[in-house]
Amino acid sequence: MSVYQDALLGCPSGSLGLKSCYLIMKTQSLSVVLIAHNEEQTIGQMASGMLEAYPDEILEVVVVDDASTDKTATIVEALMAKNHKLRLVRRVPPCGVGRALKDGYKNVSASAEYIISMDSDFLENIKEVCGLINKIDEGCDGVIGSRFIAGGKLINYPRQKKIMNRLFHIIVRTLFRIKQHDLTNNFKLYKALIFKTLPWKSTGYSMNAETGILPILAGYDIKEAPVSWIGRTEAMGASKFRLFKSGLNYVSVIAHSFWFLLHKFAYAKKKID
Structural domain contains residue 273: no
Please indicate, yes or no, if residue 271 is contained in any of the structural domains. no
CA-CA distance, 106 to 28, in Å (whole number)?
Answer: 19
Assess whether pLDDT exceeds 90 at residue 269: no
CATH number at residue 185: 3.90.550.10
What is the distance between the alpha carbons of residues 127 and 221, in angstroms, rounded to a whole number? Answer: 24
% of the chain at pLDDT higher than 70 = 84
What is the per-residue pLDDT for 270?
57
Please give the residue range of the domain that contains residue 190.
3-266
Q: Is residue 112 part of a domain?
A: yes
Q: Is residue 272 part of a domain?
A: no
43-53 and 72-80 helices cross at what angle (nearest 10)?
Answer: 30
Measured between its terminal Cα atoms, the distance across the chain in Å is 38
Residue 137 — φ and ψ, nearest 5°? -70, -10
Q: What's the structural domain count of the chain?
A: 1
Q: For residue 177, what pLDDT is reported?
A: 97
pLDDT of residue 27: 82
pTM for the predicted model, two decimal places: 0.86
Q: What is the pLDDT of residues 220-254, one digit of tens each?
A: 999 999 999 988 555 544 455 455 566 789 999 99
Helices within the chain (DSSP H only)? 3-10, 43-53, 72-80, 97-106, 129-136, 159-176, 192-197, 207-217, 243-263
